[in-house]
Amino acid sequence: MPVQTDMLPVEELSQDLRASRSRISELHIPAANQMSRQLLLSGILRELNDNDDSRWACWIANTPVKSLLSESARKTGHHLLQVLARETREIAPLAIRALQSGRSHTVVVLLNRILADSEYHQLEMAARKGQADCLIIRIDS
């Protein structure tokens, strides 16, 4: 008697595989907690600078990273390529371009909104193409 195995439908299987190999990480920080935001961002940037990859980390936002850090963290000399968007809607397309280029080992994206599924998918595909990671930091108000 043949043994029947339970199999996932193709769309569920591909979603599970995509999730397990995702190059995107997300961090949600409450806007009201400035101290946590400063500590988390400082720690993240320090770790990204210690990366053995010869490529730089890239910060994409409409706010300079130094304005979000504590005074002592601003003086630590993080090496970070900053790309500042003029408008919030430009952030995701800029991140996609940066990820695709492969010139950064990690692209850090600061957002104040949830990404659409299509944007998330485009970021994932761009990260794979550029062999880079993407960290989405969302500051919730």
Q: Which domains does the chain have, with CATH numbers?
A: 24-140 (3.40.50.300)
- Determine if the pTM surpasses 0.75: yes
Distance of CA 81 to the CA centre of its chain: 14
* pLDDT level of residue 2 (50, 70, 90 thresholds): very low
* pLDDT level of residue 1 (50, 70, 90 thresholds): very low
Q: Residue 80 contacts by C-beta under 8 Å, 6 or more apart in sequence? A: 45, 48, 49, 56, 57, 58, 59, 65
Report CA torsion sign: 13, 16, 133, 114: positive
* pLDDT level of residue 6 (50, 70, 90 thresholds): very low
- Residues 56-82 have pLDDT tens digits of 899 999 988 887 776 655 555 557 788
Whole-angstrom distance between the N-terminal and C-terminal Cα of the chain? 59
Cα pseudo-dihedral 13, 111, 32, 40, rounded to 10: 70
Which tokens belong to 92?
């995701």
Which tokens belong to 93?
């397309």
pLDDT at 122: 96
- Residues 92-130 have pLDDT tens digits of 999 999 999 999 999 999 998 889 999 999 999 999 999
Tell how strand 104-111 and strand 24-30 pair up.
Answer: unpaired
pLDDT of 139 over the 80 cut: yes
